Amino acid sequence: MRQVTRLDPASAHQTQVLTTHDDWAATEVAQRTFDRWRIENFFRYMRPISPRRPRLVRKAPTTSPERAQPGQGEGKSGDPESQGPAG
């Protein structure tokens, strides 16, 4: 593990980044990290101002006494003659 430190010359602010990529140059580590932070900040700041679509919640169908249960409708009784011709 190594630490890469970036100094912002305009504000003299230092940012430290820890990485396990020993084969990358320090500038590559810093650039990739800041690019990722930029994307994360974009979505973080867009969340409160973007309209959200309502979630569609599907509820399990409830059985009511009026609804026919499987095997109890027309032509679906246990009687083989009421089921029509065998195919």
Distance of CA 16 to the CA centre of its chain: 30
pLDDT at residue 20, rounded to an integer: 92
pLDDT grade for 6, boundaries at 50, 70 and 90: confident
Model confidence over 13-40: pLDDT tens digits?
A: 998 999 998 899 988 998 999 999 999 9
Which helix H or strand E contains 43, and what residues bound it?
Answer: helix 26-46
pTM of structure = 0.47
